[in-house]
Amino acid sequence: MTDLTKLTIAQLRDGYKAKEFTSVEATQAYVDAIDAHNAAFNAYIAVTPDIALKQAAAADAKIASDNAGKLEGIPVGIKDLYSTRGVHTQACSHILDGFKPRYEATVTQNMFDDGAVMLGKLNMDEFAMGSSNETSYYGAVTNPWKREGERTDNGTALVPGGSSGGSAAAVAAHLCAGATASDTGGSIRQPAAFTGTVGMKPTYGRCSRFGMVAFASSLDQAGPISRDVRDAAIMLGSMASADPRDTTCADLPVPDYEAAIGKSIKGMRVGIPSEYRLDGMPDEIEQLWEQGKAMLRDAGAEIVDISLPHTKYALPAYYIVAPAEASSNLARYDGVKYGLRVDGKNIEEMYENTRAAGFGEEVKRRILIGTYVLSAGFYDAYYTRAQKVRTLIKRDFELCFDAGVDCILTPATPSAAFAIGDKEMAADPVKMYLNDVFTVTVNMAGLPGIAVPAGLDNQGLPLGLQLIGRPFEEETLFQAGSVIEAAAGHFLPEKWW
């Protein structure tokens, strides 16, 4: 039998249907792979083989009775941000020590309803705050990709990006067929770009946030990381839904995203925003962008230059809005209802000790910034202004879309993956934040964005391109994304583990 962990979701699905193998077999293959290799990556922080095999057996029964759901029998990994009933859910924070929810997130419930098999919970930056997966309480995740000539156990370990670093690494290392992720400023697309995988951040409101541990409510959005564009379409089709329990979740039917794969893009107008050409951007990123344009043009798209003049302000505005919301969202972690409690001589000290011990340094930094920008006398200068800038950023995009642009092509990240413990990034929080410079605009405007692997840099590390679409037109992105994928090919890390 072929190694079942090599197959995409679509291939597994088709194989199940053709009775070539069963979900139990595929699931067992993944359970074994995780057992053997997770230590090399630290991608899973909780493994649930018992649940997985039980779900797989149930899936096989459904498949046998021709009753298969969209993800029937597909072994997936779940980012630790999602509440999973009775299973480790801590957003990789110590403050949620021991937390096992008695409820299920809408996104994971949708997937389980469609037959998905849960292999375990995936590592992430603490509360999704980070771009390297180094802020996790459970330690850093190692990217399956290493630089050319360093592809051994001892070769420089690189970050997988963040915050969905565990999701990206697990997908790239074939420790799951696909993974849930989440994206507040780039947390799906940046790690996807760093690991040669596909990351789809849908429109804000496309997936329910119910049961997703909140970071920044107005920006957080669920989405998949997968091996290829088709798998991303299949996964999103299952994850997305309307949800009466999330007021900000759109009341729209979920289209058949997979149907968009391979559709011609003839006549599609693709915008190229001049503002995404940064000073000091590596040549290879510039080249990659050019190649992307050519791939789309060759497939019949019309390439047009556009301007998104407020692009440069997206990241600074983000670093006001996101921490402000986070400072409030994370106030519930107070040692009273769940998670960690560190005693003090009165309740105030209990709060302070609990939160000092429970939150990591990056989370504390953001809570403090968020508290500061909302505090008396600063609210208007920071928060209100940032929200006004956000209106302008969104307007930039609207003007382009109104002018007939169907989607926008940009680089996904300003660089390839960097080393774990990078000194410059560690010393300067803003350096780390700049990782999201191309992705964060999309969150600020609530738009869908997809990162598709498009090439390798001169050290042999994957690079991605990003496509940005109109609200609720994810299909356009799958359509154009699959064109890039078809032209650029697939990128697999050379196995060193």
Partner 1 sequence: MSVDTATVKRVAKLSRIAITDERAESMQSELNTILGFVEQLQEVDVEGVEPMTSVVDMVMRKRRDEISDGNKAEDVTANAPMSEDNFFMVPKVVE
Partner 2 sequence: MTGLVDTRTPNPKNFFPGDDHDWELVIGLEVHAQVTSNAKLFSGASTEFGNEQNANVSLVDAAMPGMLPVINEACVRQAVKTGLGLNAQINNRSVFDRKNYFYPDLPQGYQISQLYHPIVGEGVVTIQVGPDKQGQFESVEIGIERLHLEQDAGKSMHDQHPTMSFVDLNRSGVALMEIVSKPDIRSIDEAKAYITKLRSILRYLGTCDGNMDQGSMRADVNVSVRKPGGEFGTRCEIKNVNSIRFMGQAIDYEARRQIDILEEGGTIDQETRLFDPNKGETRSMRSKEEAHDYRYFPDPDLLPLEFDDAYVDQIRAELPELPDAKRIRFMDEGLSEYDASILVSDKSIADFFEKVVEGRDAKVSANWVINDLLGALNKAGKSLEESPVSATQLGGIINLIKDGTISGKIAKDLFEIVWNEGGDPAKIVDERGMAQVTDTGAIEAAVDEIIAANPDKVQQAIEKPNMIGWFVGQVMKATGGKANPQAVNELLRKKING
Sign of the C-alpha dihedral, residues 429, 435, 437, 441?
negative
Q: With respect to partner 1, which residue has the nearer C-beta, 174 or 310? A: 310
Q: How far apart are CA 458 and CA 481, in angstroms?
A: 23
Residue 307 interacts with partner 1 (CB under 8 A): yes or no: no
- Whether 337 is catalytic is no
Q: Which residue among the candidates 132, 163, 208, 241 is catalytic per the annotation? A: 163
Q: What are phi and psi of 455, to 5 degrees?
A: 175, -175
Q: What are phi and psi of 350, to 5 degrees?
A: -60, -45
Residue 383 interacts with partner 2 (CB under 8 A): yes or no: yes
**Which of 86, 139, 155, 244: binder of partner 2 (CB under 8 A)?**
244
Q: How far apart are CA 198 and CA 76, in angstroms?
A: 15
**Which of 28, 291, 353, 371: binder of partner 2 (CB under 8 A)?**
371
Residue 446 interacts with partner 1 (CB under 8 A): yes or no: yes
Q: How far is CA 309 from the centre of its chain?
A: 26
* DSSP β-ladder status, 117-122 and 75-79: parallel
Interacting partner of 314 out of partner 2, partner 1, none (Cβ under 5 to 8 A depending on kind):
none
Q: How many positions of this chain bind partner 1 (CB under 8 A)?
A: 76
Q: With respect to partner 2, which residue has the nearer C-beta, 306 or 447? A: 447
Interface mask toward partner 1 for 327-356; x: CB under 8 A: x---x--xxxxxxxx-xxxxxxxxxxx-xx
Residue 272 interacts with partner 2 (CB under 8 A): yes or no: no
DSSP string, 39-107: HHHT-EEEE-HHHHHHHHHHHHHHHHTT---TTTT-EEEEETTB-BTTB---TT-GGGTT---SS--HH
Q: How far is CA 487 from the centre of its chain?
A: 23
Q: Taking the complex as a whole, how short is the minimal distance between the CB of residue 253 and partner 2, in angstroms?
A: 20
Q: How far apart are CA 219 and CA 90, in angstroms?
A: 20
Residue 112 interacts with partner 2 (CB under 8 A): yes or no: no
Interacting partner of 80 out of partner 1, partner 2, none (Cβ under 5 to 8 A depending on kind):
none
Taking residue 186's Cβ as centre, other Cβ atoms within 10 Å add up to 34
Q: Taking the complex as a whole, how short is the minimal distance between the CB of residue 395 and partner 2, in angstroms?
A: 18
- Whether 187 is catalytic is yes
Sign of the C-alpha dihedral, residues 315, 316, 321, 327?
positive
Q: Taking the complex as a whole, how short is the minimal distance between the CB of residue 383 and partner 2, in angstroms?
A: 6
Token reading at 486: 């078809």
Q: Taking the complex as a whole, how short is the minimal distance between the CB of residue 235 and partner 1, in angstroms?
A: 22
Residue 47 interacts with partner 2 (CB under 8 A): yes or no: no
Q: How many positions of this chain bind partner 2 (CB under 8 A)?
A: 43
Residue 88 interacts with partner 1 (CB under 8 A): yes or no: no
**Which of 9, 29, 213, 416: binder of partner 2 (CB under 8 A)?**
213
Token reading at 387: 């929200």
Q: Which of residues 188-217 bind partner 1 (CB under 8 A)?
A: 203-205
Taking residue 279's Cβ as centre, other Cβ atoms within 10 Å add up to 4
Query: Which region, judged by CB under 8 A, interacts with partner 1, from 11-19, 180-188, 380-388, 417-425?
Result: 380-388
Q: How far apart are CA 462 and CA 423, in angstroms?
A: 22
**Which of 37, 189, 209, 310: binder of partner 2 (CB under 8 A)?**
209
The CA radius of gyration of the chain, in Å to the nearest whole number, is 21
* DSSP β-ladder status, 269-273 and 302-306: parallel
Q: How far apart are CA 290 and CA 335, in angstroms?
A: 52
Query: Which region, judged by CB under 8 A, interacts with partner 2, from 113-121, 226-234, 306-314, 335-343?
Result: 335-343
**Which of 6, 332, 388, 495: binder of partner 2 (CB under 8 A)?**
332
- Whether 23 is catalytic is no
Binding site for partner 2 (CB under 8 A): 82-83, 89, 91, 96, 99, 101-103, 105, 209-214, 216-218, 244-248, 324-325, 327-328, 330-332, 334, 336-338, 347, 351, 371, 374-376, 379, 383
**Catalytic amino acids?**
79, 163, 187
